Amino acid sequence: MNKFRLTINILAIAIFTFAFASIAQAQAPRTWVSGVGDDVNPCSRTAPCKTFAGAISKTAKDGEIDCLDPGGFGAVTIVKSITLEGSMTGLGSILNSATNGINVNITDPADVRKAVTLRGLSIQGAGTGVRGVSITAATTVFVENCFISGQNGAPGNGIDDSRAGGGQLEINNTTIQNCTGNALNVNPSSGSTQINVHINNSRMQKNATGFFAGSNVRATIYNSVFSQNTTAGISAQQTAGGTTDVNCDHCLVSNNVAGFQATTAGAIIRVSNTTALNNLANNTGLAVATGGGLVSSYGNNQTGGVAFPSTGTGQTE
């Protein structure tokens, strides 16, 4: 009987040990995906997973999922601080027909950082994508060296940030084009907590609006291109009280229906060192300031001799 009990105890310890090892393996700080991988794998470098969704449950908080080779790695929902890294071996691709490409929704109070980095990814909506990236809860989101296109479902936004709790959004070296909605739509769903946006060296081309800043958004844009957008290159709208403040420096804003658009009281766009040409016919859509909105020029922009509107203008050209 004692030998039997000893055997049972040893077996129980062994099962516990193997289970603990399995959990530890499932939460590796770095995992891998490959176009020829399999989601039943542990997502190691020698046994990679097939999809981001398959790898994310096996990746520890604050960890990283790397692409071993170019491939289509599928839509994914992110609920913890993590990095999706596709730039080391070529673009990691996501095809998001009729759905969102990446959902960022980190609500776990134990996740102190609540930070996500998306790097080197191609997110293709194939004409029916709903949103390339949807951000509903996080503290900081970095989008770097990414290409987002073909979000033509509803609302059809390239990046859609609707956080009610505020946060940071950093867009670097990223192109968003051919979306029926807004390339970058930052429009908090509720509350007065501020979202801070920085856009650098990026392109927003042939969408509805290149960058739409909703209530309580403060944005700085540098060295970026907004062109061929069917509503506006850059638009600001404040509806919840407070201030929506957008600053644009060293940019190209051209061939949009409106170059700059501020349509409500509390919405301010400041423009400096920027080339803004051929917006609407003969550049008559250079800047639209209505409803108490302000579009302010520092007087050092290239507009082809067309003046910014007198309402809300710091200086004219």
* CATH code, domain with 205: 2.160.20.20
Q: How far apart are CA 137 and CA 105, in angstroms?
A: 4
Q: Is 231 left (phi over 0), alpha (psi -120 to 50) or beta?
A: alpha
What's residue 21's pLDDT? 43
Average of per-residue pLDDT across 115-121: 97
Residue 171 vs residues 146, 167, 196, 270: alpha-carbon distances, Å? 9, 13, 11, 19
Confidence of residue 305 (pLDDT cuts 50, 70, 90): confident
**129 within some domain:** yes
Task: Note the pLDDT tens digit of each residue in 197-240.
Answer: 999 999 999 999 999 999 999 999 999 999 999 999 999 999 87
Question: What pLDDT is attached to residue 87?
Answer: 85
| Domain-located, residue 274 | yes
* 288 touches 261 (CB < 8 A): yes
How many separate domains does the chain show? 1
* pLDDT for the residue 312: 47
Q: How confident is the model at residue 310 (pLDDT cuts 50, 70, 90)?
A: low
Q: What is the mean pLDDT of the chain?
A: 90
Query: CA-to-CA distance for 148 and 179, rounded, in angstroms?
Result: 9
pLDDT digits (tens, 9 = 90+) for 80-91: 999 999 987 677
Tell me which residue range forms the domain holding 120.
Answer: 59-297
68 within domain boundaries: yes
In which band, very low, low, confident or very high, does the pLDDT at 20 lie, cut at 50, 70 and 90? Answer: very low
Domain-located, residue 64: yes
> Does a structural domain hold residue 146?
yes
pLDDT band for position 96 (cuts 50, 70, 90) = very high
Q: Order of strands across the sheet with 167-172?
A: 28-33, 59-67, 82-85, 115-119, 140-144, 167-172, 195-200, 217-222, 244-249, 267-272, 294-297
State residue 309's pLDDT score: 76
Q: Exposed e or buried b for every residue in 142-173, given b needs 16+ CB within 10 A?
A: bbbbbbbbbbbbebbbbbbbbbebebebbbbb
- DSSP state letter for 9: H
- Looking at the predicted structure, is the pLDDT value of residue 60 above 90? yes
Which pLDDT score is estimated for 311? Answer: 52
Residue 249, CB half-sphere, CA atoms under 13 Å: how many?
7
pTM score, two decimals? Answer: 0.90
In a domain, residue 312? The reply is no
Q: Is residue 26 part of a domain?
A: no
pLDDT, residue 24, reads: 44
143-195: per-residue pLDDT in tens? 999 999 999 999 999 999 999 989 999 999 999 999 999 999 999 977 668 99
> Bigger pLDDT: 1 or 291?
291
Above 90 in pLDDT, residue 68? yes
Domain-located, residue 236: yes
CB contact set of 16 (below 8 Å; sequence gap of 6+): none
- Residue 193 has a pLDDT of 82
Q: What percent of the chain has pLDDT over 70?
A: 88
pLDDT value of position 23: 46
Query: Please, which pLDDT band fits residue 10 given cuts at 50, 70 and 90?
Result: low
Residue 315: per-residue pLDDT? 41
